[in-house]
């Protein structure tokens, strides 16, 4: 009876997970439309990994497989994070019709090192997870935010957390707008009918020089069947990112910018 109950519970979780993930594209923008965005600084590109804790037996089984190739997964994340940043920048440029400061164009600014000295909070990317100890960021980017328990989404729910930091960074980089992107891969235990699922999601934040969040969007890719102890599934999930990001940025652009 106990096993049957666990199986039913897991099935309900998977069904809810799939039904929610396949129908979620949420965008919120400021009611004050913008005629033009000249430059946007893409200051942070985050890649995070989340493992299940429930149901206990099934979660333990899939986590054991994932942990067995943890070093490969982390190497894959490190290999792909700059590609994610580049894709995000190009999609922003195309849809917002602006110049995006990122990577070398941002890091070579005279004020970048000064901003890093003032705002570097890389220690708050530490997750305290044994096999996946930190959120991954793009090469030479720094994290200016004081995340609590490495919880990125929760942090950006409260403007008091980031308002002054965003304002200061806009002044350093001489831009009116700042963008941040947070991608998360989440594993979901399977049952007899599936070895497990891997879910990919991305949230994009856009702020103005006053520290106000003027655009936010989250999108999910359909849950993918995968084998938790094989790297191919994780790589495939990361490669879905452009398909996830484009609808977010387009919808933000359509709702935020005044049509010319």
Give me the tens of pLDDT residue by residue for the chain, a chain 260 residues long. 444 444 444 444 444 454 444 458 999 999 999 999 999 999 999 999 999 998 888 999 999 999 999 999 999 999 999 999 999 999 999 999 999 999 999 999 999 999 999 999 999 999 999 999 999 999 999 999 999 999 999 999 999 999 999 999 999 999 999 999 999 999 999 876 667 999 999 999 999 999 999 999 999 998 999 999 999 999 999 999 999 999 999 999 999 999 86
Q: What is the pLDDT of residue 51?
A: 96
Distance CA 49, CA 72 (A): 13
Picking from 5, 2, 18, the residue whose alpha carbon sits closest to that of residue 222 is: 18
Judge contact between 94 and 246, C-beta under 8 A.
Answer: no
What per-residue string of b and e applies to 170-209 under the rule 16 or more CB within 10 Å gives b? bebbebbbbbbbbbbbbbbbbeeeebbbbbbbbbbbbbbe
Distance CA 112, CA 221 (A): 34
* Residues in CB range of 229: below 8 A, 6 or more apart: 65, 66, 68, 69
CA dihedral 22, 240, 249, 97 (to 10 degrees): -160
Counted domains in the chain: 1
What's the gap between Cα 175 and its chain centre?
A: 22
Phi, psi of 7 (to 5 degrees): -65, -45
Q: Which residue has the tokens 């957390």?
A: 161
Per the structure block, which two tokens stand in for 251?
Answer: 């919808």
Distance CA 65, CA 230 (A): 9
Q: What is the pLDDT of residue 74?
A: 98
What per-residue string of b and e applies to 89-113 under the rule 16 or more CB within 10 Å gives b? bebbbebbebebbbbeebeebeebe
Distance CA 68, CA 230 (A): 9
Q: Residue 233's domain spans which residues?
A: 2-256
Helices and strands (H, E) in the chain, number of each type: 9, 8
């Amino acid at each position: 009876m106990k096993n049957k109950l666990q199986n039913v519970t897991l099935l309900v979780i998977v069904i809810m997970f799939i039904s929610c993930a396949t129908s979620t594209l949420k965008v919120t923008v400021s009611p004050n439309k913008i005629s033009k965005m000249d430059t946007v600084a893409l200051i942070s590109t985050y890649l995070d990994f989340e493992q299940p804790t429930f149901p206990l037996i099934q979660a333990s089984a899939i986590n054991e497989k994932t942990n067995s190739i943890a070093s490969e997964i982390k190497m894959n994340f490190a290999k792909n994070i700059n590609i994610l940043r580049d894709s995000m920048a190009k999609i922003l440029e195309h849809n917002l019709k602006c110049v995006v400061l990122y990577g070398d164009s941002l890091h070579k600014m005279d004020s970048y090192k000064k901003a890093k000295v003032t705002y570097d909070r890389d220690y708050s990317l530490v997750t305290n997870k044994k096999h996946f100890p930190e959120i991954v960021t793009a090469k030479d980017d720094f994290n200016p935010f004081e995340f609590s328990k490495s919880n990125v989404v929760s942090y950006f729910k409260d403007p008091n957390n980031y308002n002054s930091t965003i304002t200061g960074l806009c002044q350093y980089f001489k831009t009116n707008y700042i963008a941040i992107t947070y991608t998360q891969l989440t594993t979901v235990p399977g049952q007899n009918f599936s070895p497990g699922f891997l879910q990919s999601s991305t949230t994009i934040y856009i702020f103005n020089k006053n520290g106000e969040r003027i655009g936010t969007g989250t999108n999910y890719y359909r849950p993918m069947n995968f084998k938790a102890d094989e790297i191919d599934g994780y790589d495939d999930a990361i490669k879905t990112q452009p398909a996830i990001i484009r609808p977010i940025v387009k919808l933000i652009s359509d709702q935020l910018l005044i049509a010319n």
